[in-house]
Chain A
Amino acid sequence: MPYLNVTEVESALSAAAAGSYAAFTQLIELPSTTWEGRTCHAIKIANGGGARRPGVYFLGGVHSREWGSADILINFVEQLEQAYQSGTGLTFGPRSFSAADIAGIVDTLDIIVFPQANPDGRNYSMTVDAMWRKNRRTSAPNSAGCPGVDINRNYDFLWNYPNYFSPQAPIADSTDPCDAGNPDNGTYHGPAAFSEPESQNAKWIFDNFGNIGFFMDVHSYGQDILYSWGDDDNQSTEPAMNFLNPAYDGQRGVGGDAYKEYIPPGDLTASLGLAADFHDAVQAVRGTDYTVKPAFNLYPTAGTSDDYAYSRHFVDPSKSKIISYTLEWGTEFQPPYAEMQNIITEITCGLVAFCVHVRESEVSF
């Protein structure tokens, strides 16, 4: 049973919102068409409504070559729907979730899944260059010879990083559409924050579902569960030392020095607790031991989805706080599909546990 192609991911979403599933799902057409003219969809799974329902947002398919992310999220949608409709639980190897767990997720949370953010890139990777990472923009300042923007460097979080980071920061971003002559880098951040239809669509979901309080961007690889921040080391004692403070411009991105990014202690606790439940559920399936750690280690990033999501309420206090993660599943970008199926099972288990934790959480929302 091979990887889903681009058409199949969209067909899977349509099927997941059709027939009797329509009673508790909503297919969401996203407003920005891709550079190659594709229309993208997300799906909302929720039985009932109300502004007080916590929202959980799972994003995937951002980097073209990380094919399994869309397959994981489609499987999650299908498993959750089928179990809810049939009034059963879910079992992944030795780990089980009760029918009450499943009903609790669908009846009390808004689950929003956008599994294929970058279909142009996925199609190119699946048919031409398997290692392609970016989207397929060819408009200026890109060109046919240097196409593509890294969607996960195009969000409005320290996007214009040369203004904010230390010249010594080993940042894995690029201002050059040709990626400094090395297309393998694939980290061109685009001509402006949110210049790309793919990141615009991901942002549109944040903007239009204001109750989203939890977010995971599904990537590969590394077997890591990464929480904010990604621009520098974390600290929880100096609130004024933060990404919004221009006094620290030119200092960010060098680990072990004076500048560290502020994360409130309560948010750190919440981030670690949710990540731990996700970790334990993944590990329960067949023993795979993912590492929970901050997104920053040796190499800082700017313009990423997880930091953008978590930063929104600092920039605009009227917005909800979003506890955010990047998942790096697996040990290679494209495992043989037989192995990918095992990964799909263990990550789906983790995603269900993530939702159960949110439902049961006492995290302030």
Chain B
Amino acid sequence: MPRYRISIRSQDREAMLDLVRTHGISVHDHGAKQDPSGEYSVDATADTAEIRALRAAGYHVDQYEDIDEVGRARQREVGQGDRYRDRADGAGNDDRRHGEE
């Protein structure tokens, strides 16, 4: 089942606490925020069944990207091999990956 990044919003503090206590939602660490109007929000990861259940329970849920789909795209942005080793031969100390940026 696809997993999505979501943002859950509520004016009700107790309802936000129940995301963890009652609904077992995977809220992201330290991610809860409160805007000037007093509304709370927190990002989380959820599948479609969880999103449906949260909406049925009265939460406002914004659904964003499929995190596995994005994750696979990001995995293509991971270096291959060992760029440090490949450049080390005769390059000396100054041939540094980030130092070149």
**Which of A's residues lie within 8 Å of B, judged by CB?**
1-5, 7-8, 11-12, 14-15, 18-21, 65, 67, 71, 74-75, 78-79, 82, 85, 126-127, 129-131, 152, 168, 170-172, 180, 182, 184-186, 219, 221-222, 224, 226, 230, 295, 297-299, 301, 326, 328, 332, 334, 336-337, 341, 344
Contacts and interface: CB of A to CB of B under 8 A. Distances in A.
Interface string B11-45: 00100111111001011111111000000101001
Which one of B13, B33, B72 has the highest number of Cβ atoms from chain A below 10 Å of its Cβ? B33
Nearest to B93: A19
A169 B85 CA distance: 49
Nearest to B26: A184
A127 B75 contact: yes
B101 A341 contact: yes
B2 to A, nearest CB: 12
B96 interface: yes
B89 interface: no
A117 to B, nearest CB: 16
B93 A15 contact: yes
B30 A337 contact: no
A298 B21 contact: no
Interface in B65-101: 67-68, 70-72, 74-75, 77-85, 88, 92-94, 96-99, 101
B79 A297 contact: no
A193 B100 CA distance: 41
Nearest to B87: A15
Interface of B: 3, 5, 13, 16-21, 24, 26-33, 40, 42, 45-46, 67-68, 70-72, 74-75, 77-85, 88, 92-94, 96-99, 101
Question: What is the predominant secondary structure among interface residues of chain B facing chain A?
Answer: mixed
Contacts of B68: 129-131
A15 B92 CA distance: 9
30 contacts: A1-B97, A3-B79, A4-B97, A5-B79, A12-B84, A19-B92, A19-B93, A20-B93, A67-B74, A71-B98, A75-B98, A82-B94, A82-B96, A130-B74, A131-B45, A168-B21, A170-B17, A170-B18, A170-B19, A172-B29, A182-B24, A184-B26, A295-B30, A298-B42, A299-B17, A299-B30, A301-B29, A332-B5, A334-B70, A336-B74
Contacts of A297: 30, 32-33
Contacts of B81: 7
A69 B21 CA distance: 30
Contacts of B19: 170
Nearest to A75: B98
A7 B88 CA distance: 14
A78 B77 contact: no
A79 B99 contact: yes
Contact of B74 (A8, A82, A85, A334): A334
Nearest to A19: B93
Contacts of B24: 180, 182, 185
A15 B99 CA distance: 12
Contacts of A226: 30
A65 B78 CA distance: 12
A219 B16 CA distance: 23
A298 B71 contact: no
A82 to B, nearest CB: 6
A222 B31 contact: yes
Contacts of B31: 221-222, 328
A221 B7 CA distance: 14
A290 B94 CA distance: 33
Contacts of B85: 11
